[in-house]
Structure 1
Amino acid sequence: MDSHTLIIPALGVFVGILMGLTGAGGGILSVPILVFFVHLPMAEASPIALCAIALSATAGAIIGLKEKILRYKAAIFMSIFGLIMSPIGLWVANKVPNMPLLLLFSVILIFVSVRLYIQAHKTIHGTLPPSPTPPPCQLDLSISKLIWTMPCARSLMYAGLTAGFLSGLLGVGGGFVIVPSLKKFTDLPMKSIVATSLGVLAIVSTGGALVSLASGNLNVEIASLFALGSLVGLVFGKLMERKISGTRVQQIFAIFAFLVALSLIYKAV
């Protein structure tokens, strides 16, 4: 543990910066970073990642709430369904061997990174096609609130269920599900999507971390160092958010995530 005293917080800072900039990237990279650099098995890395995501996402959500860009009703609604599925994902994670989990994580990471890169590339070059139909969740500009309908609630429910299960199974927080879902199902601006995603991650990840702590599957010492580092990183990420192009950050993150996924496949095989 002594040799990791500086490495673990530094890795946490890196994860926190990505979370602050993207609302998702840091969460999905937490587990592979812990597996690759700290040599932890997936089942042990996942609860530690959830602690870091919970702490830094809570800070980010509070910032978004103060700036009035966090759609807290949507965040709470998705979180309810995420909390239902998160313990199920944690239970499955403890029953599945390490290699299949690593391979599954790598495949998901490759899919997310490729999709994110393509979307960012199209946005930069102005070739992203407009949606043929309006999203089910639309913002009422007169009151600055989402208009709730059955299709809107159903879409957000499915996003919450998926994010919750993957959060427990892989320790990823679920931001990589929440952010694309909010992009697809709402017409919220990107900063509001990031803040709302962090709100969902704060609640769902906290629930998953508490379940892990209660079941004795959480390494508290490593989790504390990693979580504090991620909190510091998130503050830096929020300060950098106004100065760095979000689409360029997404491209860099996508390339990095793709390389991490290949490294995990090599490590698993």
Structure 2
Amino acid sequence: MLLVSFLGVFIGLVMGLTGAGGGILSVPALVVGLGFSMTSAAPVALMAVGISALVGTLDGLSKKIVRYKAALLMAILGALFSHLGITLAHIIPDLFLMTLFSAIMLLVAWRMFRQARQIKNPVQPGASELKPCVLNPTTGKLHWTRRCAATLAGIGALTGLFAGMLGVGGGFIIVPAFKRYTDIDMHSIVATSLAVIALVSMSTVAGIVLHGTRISGMGWNFVGAAVAGMILGRLASPHIPSRLLQIGFSGIATLVAVIMLVKTYWPAAFS
């Protein structure tokens, strides 16, 4: 029971701090750490991620740092393109998909780590305006333009596409994409990522419940511990510099890439 609680809290904490990591880390934790089968681990992981992300979203909304319009747009596009991803998953070989995604994750992790390690330089005049989505300095809200809407729609579509093809959460695409194409601060990026994950995951969770899927007592303990970890992560997040959150994200992204490569080339490790 102690191991269940520890792993659950760890998953929730990672999600709360980085806005990602829950989905892809939950299944290995349940299978390798707790002895679940892949079939029984999937609904537990999804439930833990969905409810935890919802808790994190409510916290972000209370602090007014969730870009909820952007989250809603990305979630809608993500839901639409996830069906295309599922179709492509039956056509493209798993080996190619997993290897490509892992390589992308390692590249994203390296670039974010380098960005976080750079010495702070004064922002050059007009630099933020070069990004598709920028905040209105007067209102503090996103300045919606066709370019910004198209960029966010593209992020959502790509998130859904990879989610459908690989069954991974959207945080690993949303967080670095937001960092690159907007001038939103890291804390708001994490909160918005959790909102997208919550919207997508909870709709899937509802389907699971309606189909009568049952979760064991150990599974519910894991879910509860993940929610507790999320709460701890959201409480700690405002006190952690954005630079450290970026470094933490790059570390988790690297871990995810390694897990996916091991799962692809040495599947016996998860059996």
With the length of structure 2 as denominator, give the TM-score of the two structures. Answer: 0.79
1:150 shift after superposition? 1.2
Is the alpha carbon distance of 1:188 and 1:163 closer, same or farther for their aligned partners in structure 2, counting shifts above 3 Å?
Answer: same
Residue 131 of structure 2 corresponds to residue 126 of structure 1:
no
Deviations for 1:172-211, whole angstroms, at most 9, x for unmatched residues?
3211111112122222122211111111111012233344
Is the alpha carbon distance of 1:263 and 1:162 closer, same or farther for their aligned partners in structure 2, counting shifts above 3 Å?
Answer: closer
Number of aligned residue pairs: give it. 262
Residue 158 of structure 2 corresponds to residue 136 of structure 1:
no
**Bigger mean CA deviation after superposition, 136-145 or 258-267:** 258-267
Is the alpha carbon distance of 1:105 and 1:49 closer, same or farther for their aligned partners in structure 2, counting shifts above 3 Å?
Answer: farther
CA–CA separation in structure 1 for the residues paired with 2:226 and 2:93: 28
CA–CA separation in structure 2 for the residues paired with 1:128 and 1:215: 55
2:120 partner amino acid: G
Deviations for 1:5-32, whole angstroms, at most 9, x for unmatched residues?
5433421210111111111233443334
Conservation of the 8 A alpha-carbon contact between 2:21 and 2:252: no
CA–CA separation in structure 2 for the residues paired with 1:13 and 1:225: 10
Match of 1:165 in 2: 161
RMSD: 3.4
Match of 2:180 in 1: 184
Residue 194 of structure 2 corresponds to residue 198 of structure 1:
yes
Conservation of the 8 A alpha-carbon contact between 1:29 and 1:172: no
1:252 shift after superposition? 4.4
**Bigger mean CA deviation after superposition, 224-233 or 82-91:** 82-91
Deviations for 1:76-130, whole angstroms, at most 9, x for unmatched residues?
11110111133454566689898777656644543443333223222xx337997
Conservation of the 8 A alpha-carbon contact between 2:108 and 2:176: no
State the secondary structure of the residue aligned to 2:240.
coil
Q: Which of 212, 217, 220 pairs up with 2:215?
A: 220
Is the alpha carbon distance of 1:67 and 1:129 closer, same or farther for their aligned partners in structure 2, counting shifts above 3 Å?
Answer: closer
Residue 163 of structure 2 corresponds to residue 153 of structure 1:
no
Residue 22 of structure 2 corresponds to residue 26 of structure 1:
yes
Residue 233 of structure 2 corresponds to residue 243 of structure 1:
no
State the secondary structure of the residue aligned to 1:172.
coil
Is the alpha carbon distance of 1:190 and 1:235 closer, same or farther for their aligned partners in structure 2, counting shifts above 3 Å?
Answer: same
Identical counterparts, % of pairs: 41
State the secondary structure of the residue aligned to 2:135.
strand
Residue 192 of structure 2 corresponds to residue 208 of structure 1:
no
CA–CA separation in structure 1 for the residues paired with 2:26 and 2:112: 18
With the length of structure 1 as denominator, give the TM-score of the two structures. Answer: 0.79
CA–CA separation in structure 2 for the residues paired with 1:140 and 1:171: 35
- In the TM superposition, 1:64-143 aligns within 5 A as 64-89=60-85, 103=99, 106-122=102-118, 125-126=119-120, 134-143=130-139
Residue 59 of structure 2 corresponds to residue 63 of structure 1:
yes
CA–CA separation in structure 2 for the residues paired with 1:219 and 1:12: 18
Conservation of the 8 A alpha-carbon contact between 1:166 and 1:172: yes
Is the alpha carbon distance of 1:6 and 1:107 closer, same or farther for their aligned partners in structure 2, counting shifts above 3 Å?
Answer: farther
**Structure 1, gaps ≥5 residues long:** none
CA–CA separation in structure 1 for the residues paired with 2:255 and 2:249: 10
